[in-house]
């Protein structure tokens, strides 16, 4: 019976690889934004934090566990271009501390815009907001070291006079080795559809398939993370026209992104120093962000992120600074409250 469950889950995950979606090709893109300062500091898409961090359940439902019981988190980011967004999460455990239900909210405000008609006449100002409410649950598969979880998300979006409503689900499968303090997780996010569209045209949701690995070192208070993102699309790299070369005869050769270049663009590295202590330091590097936002012949450290967390009694404050471009960066703030 257990083997049948594993085969069914692998088939379910595998069938989604036939779709390829990335930024700009689907709606509700805010669903794939960083969910917390801890996520941001470790590169943006960490899946394997199976501990008190209740926000982790927003990105990987199989990480929902009893340690999240009565934990509440609020996160906020002053994002690029004046955009603000945040998340909230809470978990509750019952049935002799074996069943945990997770609830979360993601919200984004794009700010105010000036509207004009086709003749250039002002129509006033308007704004754009989007939000998603999620409910999640995870369970252990038999007596194995595998855990399966799912989130159900209800999505609403209002952009000027246009609005849309959709539903989606996230599916996660995690392997936990307590002896080696090693975790591996595979997550398929945003499987769903629009229920109502903006203007009668059906749009796809931003499918994201991610594989994550992490381990706490035995004699060093350090936890490393390796994440492979956007596995639903290969190749992921595109040539940058600014990196084209011209020979003496004026012939131009475009940049070629090879196999290794594509592998690197799928990779995110992260490390957390003193992960189980009241104070910890976090560092991450997102290779795709670094390559896509890098300026030719300039070193601007795009893709690099760093942060810290400090716990005082039942409060834990987190902060992360993430480098995007030479012109703009992002700060992430988080407050985690133990309500027990």
Flag whether pLDDT at 61 surpasses 90: yes
pLDDT digits (tens, 9 = 90+) for 184-193: 999 999 999 9
- Phi-psi group of 81: left, alpha or beta (phi > 0 → left; psi -120 to 50 → alpha; rest → beta): left
The pTM score is 0.86
Flag whether pLDDT at 293 surpasses 90: no
Question: For position 242, what pLDDT does the model report?
Answer: 66
Flag whether pLDDT at 19 surpasses 70: no
- Tell me how far apart the alpha carbons of residues 270 and 288 are, in angstroms, rounded to a whole number: 14
Longest dimension (CA), the chain: 77
Domain 2-338: CATH architecture, name and number where available:
Beta Barrel (2.40)
pLDDT digits (tens, 9 = 90+) for 104-162: 999 999 998 898 888 889 988 999 999 999 999 999 999 999 999 999 999 999 998 89
Give me the chain's average pLDDT, please: 88
Mean pLDDT to the nearest integer, 212-241:
89
Mean pLDDT to the nearest integer, 230-257:
76
Cβ–Cβ < 8 Å for 285, 3: no
Flag whether pLDDT at 296 surpasses 90: no
Question: For position 2, what pLDDT does the model report?
Answer: 37
Q: Identify the weakest region by mean pLDDT among 30-34, 190-194, 243-247, 265-269.
A: 243-247
- Tell me how far apart the alpha carbons of residues 63 and 46 are, in angstroms, rounded to a whole number: 11
Q: Identify the weakest region by mean pLDDT among 34-38, 96-100, 101-105.
A: 96-100
Could you tell me the two tokens for 135? 């409910």
What are the domain boundaries of the chain?
2-338
Flag whether pLDDT at 65 surpasses 90: yes
Which is more confident, 17 or 260? 260
Q: Identify the weakest region by mean pLDDT among 13-22, 48-57, 64-73, 165-174.
A: 13-22
Mean pLDDT to the nearest integer, 49-53:
93
- Tell me how far apart the alpha carbons of residues 45 and 286 are, in angstroms, rounded to a whole number: 9
Mean pLDDT to the nearest integer, 70-92:
93
Mean pLDDT to the nearest integer, 35-57:
94
Question: For position 88, what pLDDT does the model report?
Answer: 97
Flag whether pLDDT at 179 surpasses 60: yes
């Amino acid at each position: 019976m257990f083997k049948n469950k594993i085969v069914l889950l692998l088939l379910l995950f595998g069938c989604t690889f036939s779709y390829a979606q990335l930024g700009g090709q689907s709606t509700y893109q805010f669903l794939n934004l960083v969910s917390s300062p801890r996520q941001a500091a470790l590169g943006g898409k960490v899946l394997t934090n199976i501990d008190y961090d209740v926000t982790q359940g927003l990105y990987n439902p199989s990480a929902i566990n009893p340690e999240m019981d009565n934990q509440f988190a609020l996160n906020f980011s002053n994002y690029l271009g004046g955009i603000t967004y945040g998340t909230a999460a809470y978990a509750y455990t019952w049935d002799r501390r074996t069943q945990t239900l997770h609830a979360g909210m993601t919200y984004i405000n794009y700010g105010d815009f000036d509207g004009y008609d086709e003749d250039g006449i002002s129509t006033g100002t308007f704004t754009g907001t989007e939000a998603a409410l999620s409910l999640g649950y995870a369970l252990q598969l038999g007596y194995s070291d595998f855990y399966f979880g799912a989130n159900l998300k209800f999505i609403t979006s209002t952009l000027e006079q246009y609005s849309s409503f959709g539903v989606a689900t996230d599916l996660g499968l995690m392997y936990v080795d307590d002896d080696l303090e090693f975790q591996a997780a595979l997550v398929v996010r945003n499987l769903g559809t629009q229920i109502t569209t903006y203007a009668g045209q059906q749009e796809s949701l931003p499918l994201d398939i991610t594989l994550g690995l992490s381990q706490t070192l035995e004699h060093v208070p350090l936890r490393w993370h390796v994440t492979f993102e956007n596995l639903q699309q290969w190749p992921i790299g595109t040539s940058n026209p600014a990196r084209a070369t011209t020979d003496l005869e004026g012939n131009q050769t475009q940049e070629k992104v090879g196999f290794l270049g594509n592998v690197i663009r799928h990779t995110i590295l992260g490390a957390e120093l003193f992960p189980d202590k009241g104070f910890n330091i976090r560092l991450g590097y997102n290779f795709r962000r670094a390559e896509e936002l890098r300026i030719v012949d300039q070193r601007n450290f795009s893709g690099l992120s760093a942060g810290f967390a400090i716990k005082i009694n039942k409060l834990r404050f987190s902060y992360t600074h993430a480098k995007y471009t030479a012109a703009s960066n992002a700060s992430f703030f988080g407050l985690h409250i133990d309500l027990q």
